[in-house]
């Protein structure tokens, strides 16, 4: 029996967007043209939004930017609901590219083609020759590792030469070594998101494409992950979801010796180590493991993934605020904001030598050669290529992710079902 798959935010909410997209009037910020409202999430542990708000206020003293907090996990669902209800902020974040098409096609983004953006590409946000958002952050996924736990387990630090086979071997060695040292830490923590496997598979596998409906490229990545779960080297998906584990606590509280994660986590880890929400320990970053040796080593360019993070303007913003909102976007994507973001460990979309220097001058950021290489050199592919098919296809592949890592289906069966669903429910419609 065929099942109909809607976009990530659901067919009903997309319809709501289309119905409300042509409306006009004041945004939820009210009629005060001296105040902008800005969406954000996890404000206590994600300082970038306050940095942008305070930085813009410093250059525009008569403007106050108020933050509206959303749940990080359900950001897009909540944002779509607020947009449909006319309660969304003046400026809101495009958290990744997965739902950008939904927002743009639902007429929930203002044309910002006239915003001056320097040092960063807006290509990901262009549709029909117009620009609908601007990037302020460009993360790439790297491998975080705890030097103290590696030392305790007597395992050599990652040096940029690892394949996924090397990673799996190290994860098991770490788990064994830490257990021998009476530590409860595991070798690796892979978070529950599908991107922790599928993002790498799509980026690193030659010819891989979401729209091909050929998902055989996923198999080696899931084979490794299931093996690590079965070996006890990482937390099983069911345990992680049942216990609501967070990647911040798993790595920050030294429950895992290494973890793949986006570079945004650097700022969070630094903040939490200062506040006490994370333990204080020496850590580093390295390039993520590679599919094969052709892209390993510091003489090569490692392949990874990461979507830009952008800002768009709610089309229901009051007319008197539009130019101010555009000025905020120009600031957020510009050099001053880039330097400020780098100063808290965020990877800005606008990068130059000054922002790189600012990044590595932050107290607590590792300054070893491998960490600098991982930050500076990589081929970053998009996790979510912009297309009307991306969100529904990603939903199907998320079902594959859950089924395989929970043990309800083997990888071959799950791939065959995902391919059939992709053709019947998405691509052939």
Residue-wise pLDDT tens digits, 100-123: 999 999 999 999 999 999 888 899
Arithmetic mean of pLDDT, 12-29: 42
How far apart (Å, rounded) are the C-alpha atoms in residues 178 and 164?
A: 21
Residue-wise pLDDT tens digits, 79-94: 999 999 999 999 999 9
**Which residue's structure tokens are 């409202």?**
37
Question: pLDDT value at position 16?
Answer: 44
Q: From its phi and psi, is residue 36 left (phi > 0), alpha (psi between -120 and 50) or beta?
A: beta
**H or E element, residue 99:** none
CB 75 within 8 A of CB 41: yes
DSSP 363-401: TT---SHHHHHHHH--EEE-SS-SSTTHHHHHHHHHHHH
Residues sharing a CB contact under 8 Å with residue 119, sequence separation 6 or more, in sequence order: 333, 334, 335, 338, 349, 350, 351, 352
Question: pLDDT value at position 118?
Answer: 82
Distance in Å from the first CA to the final CA of the chain? 16
Looking at the DSSP bridge assignments, the partners of residue 311 are 93, 134
How far apart (Å, rounded) are the C-alpha atoms in residues 12 and 297?
A: 48
**Residue 71 neighbours by CB distance under 10 Å:** 10
How far apart (Å, rounded) are the C-alpha atoms in residues 75 and 187?
A: 31
Can you say how many angstroms the Cα of residue 23 is from the centroid of all Cα atoms in its chain? 31
CB 231 within 8 A of CB 170: no
Residue-wise pLDDT tens digits, 288-322: 999 999 999 999 999 999 989 999 999 999 999 99
Residue-wise pLDDT tens digits, 335-389: 999 999 998 888 999 877 788 888 889 999 999 999 999 988 999 999 988 889 9
How far apart (Å, rounded) are the C-alpha atoms in residues 121 and 219?
A: 33
pLDDT at residue 183 tops 60: yes
Q: Buried (b) or exposed (e) across 136-153, using 16+ Cβ within 10 A?
A: bbbbbbbbbbbebbbebb
- Supply the mean pLDDT for the chain: 91
Residues sharing a CB contact under 8 Å with residue 19, sequence separation 6 or more, in sequence order: 84
Looking at the DSSP bridge assignments, the partners of residue 38 are 67, 91
Question: pLDDT value at position 10?
Answer: 43
- When pLDDT is cut at 50, 70 and 90, the band that residue 21 belongs to is very low
Report the interhelical angle of 411-421 vs 390-406 (nearest 10°): 160
Residue-wise pLDDT tens digits, 118-154: 888 899 999 999 999 999 999 999 999 999 999 999 9
DSSP 426: I
How far apart (Å, rounded) are the C-alpha atoms in residues 205 and 291?
A: 7
Can you say how many angstroms the Cα of residue 374 is from the centroid of all Cα atoms in its chain? 17
Question: pLDDT value at position 154?
Answer: 97
Question: pLDDT value at position 26?
Answer: 43
Structural domains of the chain in order of their starting residue, each with its CATH number: 11-138+307-351 (3.40.190.10), 141-303+385-427 (3.40.190.10)
Question: pLDDT value at position 350?
Answer: 86
Residue-wise pLDDT tens digits, 152-169: 999 999 999 999 999 999
Q: What percent of the chain has pLDDT over 70?
A: 93
**Residue 353 neighbours by CB distance under 10 Å:** 7
Question: pLDDT value at position 196?
Answer: 97
Nearest CA among 72, 396, 20, 423 for reference residue 262: 72
Strand 283-286, strand 141-146: pairing? antiparallel
């Amino acid at each position: 029996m065929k099942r109909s798959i809607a976009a990530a935010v659901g067919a009903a909410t997309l319809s709501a967007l289309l119905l409300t997209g042509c409306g006009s009037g004041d945004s939820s910020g009210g009629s005060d043209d001296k105040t902008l409202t800005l969406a954000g999430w996890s404000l206590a542990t994600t300082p970038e939004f306050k940095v942008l708000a305070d930085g813009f206020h410093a250059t525009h003293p008569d403007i106050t930017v108020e933050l509206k907090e959303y749940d990080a996990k359900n950001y897009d669902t909540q944002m779509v609901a607020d947009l449909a209800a006319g309660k969304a902020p003046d400026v809101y974040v495009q958290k990744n590219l997965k739902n950008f098409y939904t927002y743009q096609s639902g007429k929930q983004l203002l044309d910002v083609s006239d915003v001056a953006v320097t040092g960063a590409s807006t290509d990901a946000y262009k549709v029909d020759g117009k620009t609908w958002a601007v990037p302020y952050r460009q993360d790439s996924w790297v491998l975080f590792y705890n030097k103290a736990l590696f030392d305790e387990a007597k395992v050599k630090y990652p040096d940029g030469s690892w394949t996924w086979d090397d990673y799996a071997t190290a994860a098991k060695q770490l788990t064994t070594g830490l257990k021998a040292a009476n530590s409860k830490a595991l070798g690796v923590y892979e978070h529950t998101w599908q991107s922790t496997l599928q993002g790498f598979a799509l980026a690193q596998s030659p010819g891989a494409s979401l729209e091909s409906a050929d998902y055989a490229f996923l198999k080696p990545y899931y084979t490794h992950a299931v093996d690590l779960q079965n070996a006890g080297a990482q937390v099983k998906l069911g345990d992680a979801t049942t216990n609501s584990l967070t990647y911040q606590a798993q790595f920050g509280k030294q429950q895992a010796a290494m973890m793949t994660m986006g570079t945004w986590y650097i700022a969070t880890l630094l903040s939490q180590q200062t506040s006490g929400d994370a333990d204080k320990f020496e850590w580093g970053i390295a390039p993520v493991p590679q599919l094969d040796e052709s892209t390993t080593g510091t003489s090569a360019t490692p392949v990874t993934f990461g979507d830009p993070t952008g800002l768009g303007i709610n089309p229901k913003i009051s007319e008197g605020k539009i130019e101010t909102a555009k000025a905020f976007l120009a600031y957020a994507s510009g050099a001053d904001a880039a330097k400020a973001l780098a100063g808290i460990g965020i990877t800005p979309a606008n990068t130059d030598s000054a922002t790189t220097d600012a990044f590595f001058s932050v107290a607590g950021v590792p300054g070893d050669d491998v960490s600098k290489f991982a930050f500076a050199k990589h081929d970053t592919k998009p996790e979510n290529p912009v297309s009307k098919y991306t969100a529904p296809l990603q939903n199907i592949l998320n079902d594959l992710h859950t089924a395989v890592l929970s043990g309800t289906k083997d990888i071959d069966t799950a791939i065959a079902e995902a391919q059939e669903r992709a053709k019947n429910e998405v691509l052939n419609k």
